[in-house]
């Protein structure tokens, strides 16, 4: 079951940037693209744990700040020669507010 | 009643609002079932239906009101419609089925609400002054026409469809028009930044001033409007202010009547409201959480309402709509959903020469969105593919070229150079423009060397060689074989050097402008070109360009060095390596207060606090600022440190005040952004205790003065500096070092340190620029100073400000949120 929580106004996330949401399972990076699409990914690069929220956003991809792996924010899959996957979360914008599907985050915590 | 005929009572239909939606409803009713209803039509405006979307041509003078009327008095009379124009409905009495205007009540059996929407007025001081108008109906249009005098000033607030149409119309009437738009680019709901950039350029070309990222603070004036003031301090004089910032559904009478209203009047698929005797249609409705602001879906709604009123089954299914701006000469088209999204892919085509941009968004095998500027001929075809959900996988490779594609050419890498005007400068060192090179080629100089010999282009630093070759290729066609050079990144075919020269030659001042004009093949660049472009623009247009923080590598964005575990290291500046007990105490206190796990002396004579959490950065900086310290830029592609020895002040060998000179240099150079990090060293005598001869710029003091040497390295490569010159005074050191840093800033490719830059351009060329040519040296130093007037500021002070601090915290904290 999905459970959307309001995590704040879209305007608090910079265009082509990200903010993090703290959870008991670690941080989730919430990205906003140049055209206001939003994506949510685990804020941990599968390579060596780099904070993806601090990467450079370009189009719908983000480049990890530590060793420049590139991830498709839609699928969480590493691009190019690298192999890896970051968990993604459903996120949407309604009336200027960002809603994050927290069912997985909270369920895992309960388990 | 004639005896024997079945008793048939004509139903009473009341329609509130004579706009574009209800006009269509009436047409359907009158053709499909004439006489089915006794119709009473109310309209707040003192006139009947007209084509509202044609108000812009009326404003610009291209059409008259008479030409846009859709239903005239004769038509209403023929249909037997009772017209109550200029009469607003103020109340709906649902229990008794009567609507009331100020003139009295009219009963209904069936009621249609078609009240459209009301313009949104931003609640700033002065919004009610005479001369402030919205843009919604004929009266607004006439007010604008009356106020428009050639040479008078108009400010349009809102750079969306309506605002821009108003702006273009007023400009055609000779007004000086400024558009203030809150977002970063025009029509952001329909266009992406690239198309927005092209639109802005086209509007600017017709004299309309555009101010993006502008927030209106107040409208000024005593008896009538005089000016508009923005949050950033800009003030624009105004004889007329048009507010076109948005609309909201006009739902007041529905709310008062306790109909279900969300953002608009809630309707079902048959456009019925929560009261089965009442329908609503047009911009005032909300269907399936969606509002409507364009006529195409309203016309579909009108068909459904008419059917439903007549008792037929019908359901409204919203379809995609396409947008077109009705400004003559600005061809743009957008349809479908072109936002980026999971699993979506883009196809981008740019032809800077013709000012064309096309972008298709594909999901799976379907086209779901399209944005086009400049050449919109294929818009309808793409729109069809979107609406029909056509499987496009078979034509994907050539889709962007449109239906007529016959296997034609792909994007031309030389287009950007071909598009340059003859006066565009190609070679900065020697001031040679494209036209001069073209005439040399036409006069027989058909090789690079011949062009060099005749025009001097590319004969100095050589960074424009690629461009000169491209001018040869463009001018000579196949007769010239273009050598292949390493492109800047996978998003472009241009080299770093070419991009730098083209930014200057074409006067490009933003990242979207560069990407469009130079034919970038990706949507938003990549992690390697975005920081480089940001640097080039900042270095070339220090006063015009606003730094794009999001195009910066994390260290520069957060003004601290990221460490392997995601914590940061913080280094306050210590001018020339000198500190004080007070500063040391402040550092020690901060280390205690923020539980800094390691405090370390760096190789650049400073103290590094390692392991600071991101959330703590603003607070720790604020503490350092309070103690009088600024950022050490230990993270930047910019000036880092000036290492010094003690020099003549204490050392028995010292010949000059090396510490004092180091401090002076650091205070002059700090804050500047450079292609890569820059480190200096100043030693007081040839014993060279500051190790100045393996720095980017090293100064060794000698009895007779100062030896300035450059291009050392002590990193991945280890290299000794080379002597640039020897000078007699400190002032000359200052001037030559500034000029040399500026030479490097203006000409190097991004991420090349000084030793690589000098290896490419040659030390002799650098000497010629900053030593021999005094005028040029002074000009370079002056340009450096100009740039420093903006950048010699402490970034910590800005980010540590209390209102900024929240941005360094998590957006939300769900760690204590209970599980279900
Ligand atoms: C300048 C301009 C340019 C536009 N350009 C385009 C375009 O290019 N393409 C496009 O698709 N769309 C365009 N639009 C939008 C389009 O005009 C609207 O979507 C459309 O007119 C909405 O139709 P409607 O019937 O819902 O409302 P309207 O056409 O606004 O009609 C509503 C009517 O109801 C009346 N009314 C309101 N309250 C009451 C009341 N209580 N009692 C009686 N009467 C009342 C109003 O006075 C108004 O006349 C443009 C709009 C404007 C203003
Ligand atoms: S470089 Fe010369 S002046 Fe400076 S500390 Fe060493 S010996 Fe003294
Ligand atoms: S940690 Fe992300 S690329 Fe290495």
What percent of chain B is predicted at pLDDT more than 90?
A: 65
DSSP B594-615: TT-SEEEE-TTSSEEEEEE-GG
Longest alpha-carbon distance in chain A = 39
What is the per-residue pLDDT for B129?
94
The secondary structure of B425-445, three-state, reads EEECCCCEEHHHHHHHHHCCC
- Which residues are CB-contacts of B788 (< 8 A; sequence separation ≥ 6)? B668, B671, B672
What percent of chain B is predicted at pLDDT more than 70?
A: 96
What is the per-residue pLDDT for B820?
45
What is the per-residue pLDDT for B412?
63
The CB density around residue B290, as the number of other CB atoms within 10 Å, is 11
Find, in chain B, the residue whose alpha carbon is nearest to that of A108.
B819
Phi, psi (rounded to 5 degrees) for B717: -110, 150
pLDDT band for B139, please (50, 70, 90 cuts). Answer: very high
State how far the Cα of B679 lies from the Cα of B697, in Å rounded to an integer: 7
State how far the Cα of B5 lies from the Cα of B330, in Å rounded to an integer: 61
Partners of B815 on chain A (C-beta within 8 Å) are: 22-24
Pocket of ligand 2 (CB under 6 A): B 645-647, 651, 653-654, 658, 683-685, 687-689
**Residue B631, burial from CB neighbour count under 10 angstroms (0-12, 13-18, 19+):** buried
- Asked if B680 contacts B665 with a C-beta cutoff of 8 angstroms, the reply is yes
Answer yes or no: is the C-beta of B89 below 6 A from any ligand 1 atom. yes
What tokens appear for A37 in the block? 């699409």
For residue A69, report the distance from its CA to the centre of ligand 3, in Å.
Answer: 6
The pLDDT tens digits of the residues spanning B494-511 come to 999 999 999 998 899 999
Q: Give kind and range of the element (H or E) at residue B554.
A: helix B554-558
Can you say which residues of B are annotated as belonging to the binding site for siroheme? 689
The pLDDT tens digits of the residues spanning B316-334 come to 988 777 777 777 778 888 8
Atom of ligand 1 lying closest to residue B323 CA: 9
- What ranges make up the beta strands (E) of chain A? 4-9, 17-23, 26-32, 38-42, 56-58, 61-63, 70-72, 88-89, 91-94, 97-101
Phi, psi (rounded to 5 degrees) for B230: -105, 160
- Asked if the C-beta of A92 comes within 8 angstroms of chain B's C-beta atoms, the answer is no
- Whether A32 shows a pLDDT value over 80: the answer reads yes
Q: Which ligand is nearest to the CA of B332?
A: 1
The CB density around residue B152, as the number of other CB atoms within 10 Å, is 17
Window from B134-148, B284-298, B400-414 with minimum mean pLDDT: B400-414
Q: Give kind and range of the element (H or E) at residue B661.
A: helix B658-669
The pLDDT tens digits of the residues spanning B182-207 come to 998 998 888 888 888 989 998 999 89
For residue A52, report the distance from its CA to the centre of ligand 3, in Å.
Answer: 8
What is the per-residue pLDDT for B153?
95
For residue B700, report the distance from its CA to the centre of ligand 2, in Å.
Answer: 10
State how far the Cα of B602 lies from the Cα of B605, in Å rounded to an integer: 6
Using only C-alpha atoms, chain B has a radius of gyration, in whole angstroms, of 34
Contact between chains at B344 and A74 (C-beta distance less than 8 A):
yes
- Asked if the C-beta of A20 comes within 8 angstroms of chain B's C-beta atoms, the answer is yes
- Whether B778 shows a pLDDT value over 50: the answer reads yes
The residue behind tokens 């001031």 is B431
- Asked if B32 contacts B53 with a C-beta cutoff of 8 angstroms, the reply is no
pLDDT band for A111, please (50, 70, 90 cuts). Answer: very low
- Asked if B373 contacts B366 with a C-beta cutoff of 8 angstroms, the reply is no
Alpha-carbon A21 to chain mean position: 9
Alpha-carbon B548 to chain mean position: 10
- Whether A110 shows a pLDDT value over 50: the answer reads no
Write the DSSP symbol of residue B745.
Answer: H
| pLDDT, mean over chain A | 90
The pLDDT tens digits of the residues spanning A70-107 come to 999 999 999 877 888 999 999 999 988 999 998 888 76
Answer yes or no: is the C-beta of B295 below 6 A from any ligand 1 atom. yes
What is the per-residue pLDDT for B349?
85
Atom of ligand 3 lying closest to residue A69 CA: 3
Can you say which residues of B are annotated as belonging to the binding site for [4Fe-4S] cluster? 645, 651, 685, 689
State how far the Cα of A73 lies from the Cα of A56, in Å rounded to an integer: 12
| pLDDT, mean over chain B | 90
Q: Could you say which of B343, B557, B811 has the minimum Cβ distance to residue A19?
A: B811
pLDDT band for B251, please (50, 70, 90 cuts). Answer: very high
Half-sphere exposure at residue A91, Cβ-oriented, CA atoms within 13 angstroms:
31
What tokens appear for B215 in the block? 């927030």
What is the per-residue pLDDT for B671?
95
Window from A1-10, B408-417, B573-582 with minimum mean pLDDT: B408-417
The pLDDT tens digits of the residues spanning B31-62 come to 888 889 999 999 999 999 999 988 988 998 88
Mean of pLDDT values over B71-97: 94
Alpha-carbon B302 to chain mean position: 38
The pLDDT tens digits of the residues spanning B337-376 come to 776 667 788 888 888 777 888 888 888 888 888 888 888 7
- Which residues are CB-contacts of B564 (< 8 A; sequence separation ≥ 6)? A48, A66
- Whether B411 shows a pLDDT value over 70: the answer reads no
What is the per-residue pLDDT for B786?
94
Window from A21-35, B54-68, B143-157 with minimum mean pLDDT: B54-68
Q: Is the dihedral of CA A93, A97, A103, A107 positive or negative?
A: positive
Answer yes or no: is the C-beta of A83 below 6 A from any ligand 3 atom. no
Task: Tell me the pTM.
Answer: 0.69
The residue behind tokens 């419609």 is B81
For residue B577, report the distance from its CA to the centre of ligand 2, in Å.
Answer: 15
Q: Give kind and range of the element (H or E) at residue B644.
A: strand B639-644
What is the per-residue pLDDT for B272?
96
- Asked if the C-beta of A39 comes within 8 angstroms of chain B's C-beta atoms, the answer is yes
State how far the Cα of B268 lies from the Cα of B279, in Å rounded to an integer: 9
- Asked if the C-beta of A49 comes within 8 angstroms of chain B's C-beta atoms, the answer is yes
State how far the Cα of B576 lies from the Cα of B95, in Å rounded to an integer: 85
Partners of B338 on chain A (C-beta within 8 Å) are: 35
What residue spans of B180-268 are helical by DSSP H? 193-205, 252-256
What tokens appear for B440 in the block? 């040399």
- Which residues are CB-contacts of A48 (< 8 A; sequence separation ≥ 6)? A66, A67, B564
B410 dihedral zone (left: phi>0; alpha: psi -120 to 50; beta): beta
The pLDDT tens digits of the residues spanning B695-716 come to 999 999 999 999 999 999 998 8
State how far the Cα of B76 lies from the Cα of B18, in Å rounded to an integer: 12
State how far the Cα of A85 lies from the Cα of B692, in Å rounded to an integer: 47
State how far the Cα of A36 lies from the Cα of A16, in Å rounded to an integer: 9
- Asked if the C-beta of A96 comes within 8 angstroms of chain B's C-beta atoms, the answer is no
- Asked if the C-beta of A23 comes within 8 angstroms of chain B's C-beta atoms, the answer is yes
What residue spans of chain A are helical by DSSP H? 103-110
């Amino acid at each position: 079951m999905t459970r959307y929580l309001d995590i704040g106004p879209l305007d608090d996330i910079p265009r082509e940037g990200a903010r993090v949401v703290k959870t008991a399972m670690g941080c989730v990076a919430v990205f906003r693209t140049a055209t206001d699409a939003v994506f949510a990914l685990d804020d941990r690069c599968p390579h060596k744990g780099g904070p993806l929220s601090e990467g450079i956003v370009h189009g719908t991809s983000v480049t990890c700040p530590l060793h420049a792996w590139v991830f498709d924010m839609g699928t969480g899959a590493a691009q190019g020669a690298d192999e890896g996957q970051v968990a993604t979360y459903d996120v949407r914008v309604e009336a200027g507010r960002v809603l994050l599907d927290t069912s997985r985050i909270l369920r895992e915590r309960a388990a | 009643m004639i005896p024997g005929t079945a008793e048939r009572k004509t139903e009473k239909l009341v329609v509130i609002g004579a706009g574009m939606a209800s006009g269509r409803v009436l047409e359907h009713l009158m053709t499909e079932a004439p006489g089915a209803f006794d119709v009473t039509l109310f309209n707040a405006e003192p006139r009947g239906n007209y084509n509202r979307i044609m108000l812009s041509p009326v404003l610009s003078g291209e059409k008259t009101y008479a030409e846009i009327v859709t239903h005239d008095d004769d038509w209403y009379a023929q249909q037997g419609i009772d017209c109550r124009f200029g009469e607003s409905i103020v109340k709906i009495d649902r229990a008794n089925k009567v609507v009331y205007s100020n003139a009295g009540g009219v009963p209904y059996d069936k009621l249609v609400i078609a009240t459209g929407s009301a313009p949104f007025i931003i609640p700033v001081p002065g919004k009610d002054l005479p001369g402030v108008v919205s843009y919604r109906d004929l009266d607004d249009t006439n007010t604008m026409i009356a106020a428009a005098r050639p040479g008078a000033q108009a400010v349009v607030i809102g750079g969306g469809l309506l605002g821009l149409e108003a702006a273009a119309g007023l400009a055609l009437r000779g007004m000086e028009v400024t558009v203030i738009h809150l977002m970063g680019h025009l029509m952001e709901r329909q266009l992406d930044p690239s198309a927005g950039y092209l639109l802005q350029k086209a509007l600017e070309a017709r004299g309309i001033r555009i101010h993006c990222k502008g927030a209106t603070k107040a409208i000024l004036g005593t008896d009538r409007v005089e000016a508009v003031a923005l949050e950033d301090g800009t003030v624009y004089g105004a004889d007329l202010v048009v507010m076109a910032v948005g609309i909201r559904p006009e739902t007041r009478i529905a709310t008062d009547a306790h109909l279900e209203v969300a953002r608009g009047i809630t309707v079902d698929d048959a456009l019925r409201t929560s009261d089965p005797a009442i329908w609503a249609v047009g911009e005032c409705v909300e269907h399936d959480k969606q509002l409507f602001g364009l006529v195409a879906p309203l016309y579909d709604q009108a068909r459904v309402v008419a059917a439903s009123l007549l008792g037929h089954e019908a359901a409204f299914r919203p379809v995609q709509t396409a947008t077109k701006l009705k400004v003559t000469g600005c061809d743009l088209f957008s349809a479908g959903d072109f936002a980026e999204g999971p699993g979506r892919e883009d196809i981008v085509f740019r032809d800077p020469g013709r000012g064309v941009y096309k972008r298709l968004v594909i999901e799976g095998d379907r086209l779901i969105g399209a944005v086009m500027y400049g050449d919109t001929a294929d818009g309808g075809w793409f729109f069809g593919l979107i609406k029909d959900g056509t499987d496009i996988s078979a034509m994907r490779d050539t889709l962007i070229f449109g239906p007529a594609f016959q296997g034609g050419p792909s994007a031309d890498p030389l287009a950007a150079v071909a598009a340059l005007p003859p006066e565009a400068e190609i070679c900065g060192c020697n001031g040679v423009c494209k036209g001069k090179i073209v005439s040399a080629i036409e006069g027989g100089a058909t090789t690079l060397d011949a062009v060099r010999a005749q025009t001097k282009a590319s004969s100095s630093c050589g960074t424009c060689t690629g461009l000169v070759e491209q001018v040869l290729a463009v001018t000579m066609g196949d007769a010239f074989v273009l050598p292949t050079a390493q492109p800047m990144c996978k998003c472009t075919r241009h080299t770093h050097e070419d991009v730098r020269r083209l930014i200057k030659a074409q006067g490009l001042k933003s990242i979207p402008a560069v990407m469009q004009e130079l034919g970038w093949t990706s949507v938003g660049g990549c992690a390697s070109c975005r920081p480089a472009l940001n640097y080039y623009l900042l270095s070339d247009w220090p006063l015009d360009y606003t730094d794009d923080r999001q195009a910066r590598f994390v260290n520069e964005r957060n003004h601290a060095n990221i460490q392997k575990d995601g914590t940061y290291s913080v280094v306050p500046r210590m001018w020339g390596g000198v500190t004080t007990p007070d500063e040391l105490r402040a550092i020690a206190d901060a280390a205690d207060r923020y539980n800094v796990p390691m405090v370390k002396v760096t190789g650049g004579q400073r103290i590094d606090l390692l392991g600071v959490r991101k959330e703590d950065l603003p607070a720790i900086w604020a503490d350092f600022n309070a103690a009088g310290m600024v950022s050490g830029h230990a993270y930047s592609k910019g000036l880092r440190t000036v290492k010094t020895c003690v020099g003549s002040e204490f050392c028995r060998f010292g010949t000059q005040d090396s510490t004092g000179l180091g401090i002076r240099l650091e205070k002059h150079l700090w804050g500047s952004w450079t292609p890569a990090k820059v480190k200096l060293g100043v030693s007081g005598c040839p014993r060279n205790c500051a190790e100045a001869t393996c720095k980017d710029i090293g100064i060794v003091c000698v009895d007779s003065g100062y030896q300035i040497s450059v291009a050392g390295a002590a990193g991945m490569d280890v290299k000794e500096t080379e002597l640039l010159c020897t000078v007699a005074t400190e002032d000359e050191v200052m001037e030559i070092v500034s000029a040399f840093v500026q030479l490097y800033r203006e000409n190097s490719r991004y991420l090349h340190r000084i030793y690589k830059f000098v290896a490419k351009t040659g030390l002799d060329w650098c000497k010629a620029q900053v030593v021999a040519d005094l005028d040029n040296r002074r000009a370079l130093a002056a340009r450096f100073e100009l740039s420093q007037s903006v950048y010699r500021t402490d970034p910590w002070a800005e980010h540590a400000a209390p209102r900024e601090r929240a941005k360094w915290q998590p957006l939300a904290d769900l760690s204590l949120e209970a599980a279900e």
